[in-house]
Structure 1
Amino acid sequence: MDWIERARCMVAYHPEAVDFIRRASDYFPVDMAHIHLLLRLWVEADNMDAVILPMLHELNAGLLDEEGIIDTNRGASLRPTAFASFSDANTEEIVYECFWHLNWGDSQALSVVMSVNGDGVFQVQARGEASVSEHRIGYPPSENALKDALVAVYVAEQTAD
């Protein structure tokens, strides 16, 4: 997506982002100035759909006999502040997230999570549900890094006790 199209998408998402921030403010200490970060995250997630969703479908077909369920969603959460000193280790910050999930079996799942904090720092991770595994992927993520992380989480999920 070129920069002009990105601008159009951000304007189109703006009303939804304002509503999202307002709803999130019922649960988290949000800042309306975060709307620009949220818009960037959502537009980047739209771009990543074309990469991540085919990988999840391929994994589902090739390893799970199409028995998995693929889903996407958005959210916000509090996480420990990355640069908190020892004395303020309980400091938390708001993080906005986009998720791509593949769920199978009774409790097995893997997710790719792209997030941005209030300082505009983006992160991408692959996570496992039953195994509680977590693999950081560089941002912006390469296709090979995504595949490597998905394989690692899949193996952890399939072999978790």
Structure 2
Amino acid sequence: MLNRTSFTAASVLAAMTLAACTSAPHATTPATPSSVSLQSHEWQLHKALNAQGTVDPQWQLPGRPQGPAPTVGLRFVDAQTVSVENLCNRMHGRYTLNGTNIQVERLASTLMACPNANLMALERKVGQWLPQARTWRIVGNPNAPVLELQFDNGARWQLTGSPT
């Protein structure tokens, strides 16, 4: 009888240990949950890197030495429309996803004059570059996600997300 009781106790202990092991990774894994998506956040350009991985100064506005212009924003309105926000004009276009691949079509834009020539030049560059994006991924923790877009030439944009 003592052996049967010991065996039962050991079995219960083993089952509890296995249950604890199967639930632990969910609590500690920094995986991005499905609730973080392109559409669930507004994305602001935080850092632009060239193919060598160094900060690319062409995305910095004069007078803003702290980094790329924080005004370049992307919003993936739905499963096929992206808009560029916070520049002189509103730009939008269609995009498609295939796994980690992204294809952005040529962007349409309003044609308002902009009193800031540097901001207007930045806007033109964004309109030329965004259709060259090839891959995307969301990294970081769910409270501070980062969207990484990689371009044909190896350059990358890192955009921080805030919930919509």
TM-score by length of structure 1 reads 0.29
The answer to which structure has the higher helix fraction is 1
Query: Could you say which structure has the larger radius of gyration?
Result: 2
Q: Which fold has the larger relative contact order, with Cα–Cα distance below 8 Å and residues 6 or more apart in sequence?
A: 2
